[in-house]
Every structure is written in structure tokens, then in C-alpha cells.
Amino acid sequence: MALLPMPASQANTVNNDIFKNYDATIVNFWTNGCGSCIAEMPELEEYYQQFKDKNINLIAVAASAGDSDEMRAGAEKILKEKGVTYTNIIPDIESSFYKDFICEITGFPITYIVDSDGYMVGAPLIGVVKKQEDNLMKRLNEVTK
């Protein structure tokens, strides 16, 4: 999948290697127009900081930011305003990842736990992660034991 890290100006290819150096990676999908997505960013930032020493990463996919330069600029503004330091990527809207996976997502935010080999652990967490903290911790414990 071809993805563009924010706020870099050059496209980079991202694949399952992004997961290999961590026991688990929390992958959060969000859109510019999703109020819950934006509201939970400070909580996700707290998780990111909390989990750094536990070999757990957190990345996000700005699902709508690849639609136009305006959407990208909006996403970058949101991330700056929310003080986000974890990696955010913009999917290439022409990629199969976008067309076959992201376009099938019916609600945001949605969060996946991924192991070091790039496999999803359990079902996705649909909605704000903080409200599902028990499920999050349970899945993280499954892969970090």
C-alpha cells in the first residue's frame, strides 16, 4: 500500500514492516469530519506516550486526507491543534488498500490491534477507544505476554 506519512511532502511505501519492531501496534482510522475521531486524539496521544516503554506503537490513518489538498491541509491542522505526535499516514486513494479496505469501513473511528507480523488481533474496536479500554488492554496483553 502506498501511503504518505504526515506531514512529509514525499510519498513513501508502507507495508507490514511498519509493525515488525513492536509487539503490538494500535492502528486508528479517522476522518476530518468525524467529531469523535478528533475528540479522542488527546486520549490516543496519552496511550502512545504510555505504551512507548512497553514496545507497543500507535499509528493512525487519516482516511479522508488523501481526497484533496484541502482535506490534507485540514487533517494537518487538526493534528497540530490536538498536539498529536504519533505517526499519521494518508492512504493513496488509488491503492487497493484504500479501495478494498478503507472504503469498506462503515463508521469512524475504528481501531485495530496488529501484531508484529501484521496480523489483526481480534475484532476491531468500533468507536472511541477509551470507552473500550478493557478490550484494548485484553488484546494488547494477548500479544505482549
Burial of 126 (0-12, 13-18, 19+ CB in 10 A): middle
State the CATH number of the domain containing residue 6: 3.40.30.10
Say what the pTM is. 0.89
CA–CA separation, 3 and 53 (whole Å): 26
Domain of 87?
2-144
Residue type at position 145: K
pLDDT at 12: 60
The 3 state secondary structure assigned to 83-145 is: CCCCEEEEECCCCHHHHHCHHHCCCCCEEEEEECCCCECCCCEECCHHHHHHHHHHHHHHHHC
The DSSP bridge pattern shows strands 125-126 and 110-115 to be: antiparallel
> How many domains does the chain divide into?
1
Q: Can you give the pLDDT of all 145 residues of the chain as single tens digits?
A: 233 344 443 456 677 788 999 999 999 999 999 999 999 999 999 999 999 999 999 999 999 988 888 999 999 999 999 999 999 998 888 888 888 899 899 999 999 999 999 999 999 999 999 999 999 999 999 888 6
Contacts of residue 92, defined as CB under 8 A and 6 or more positions apart, other chains included, come to 1, 2, 3, 4, 11, 66, 98
CA–CA separation, 124 and 111 (whole Å): 6
Sheet with 110-115, edge to edge strand ranges: 12-13, 2-5, 87-91, 56-62, 24-30, 110-115, 125-126
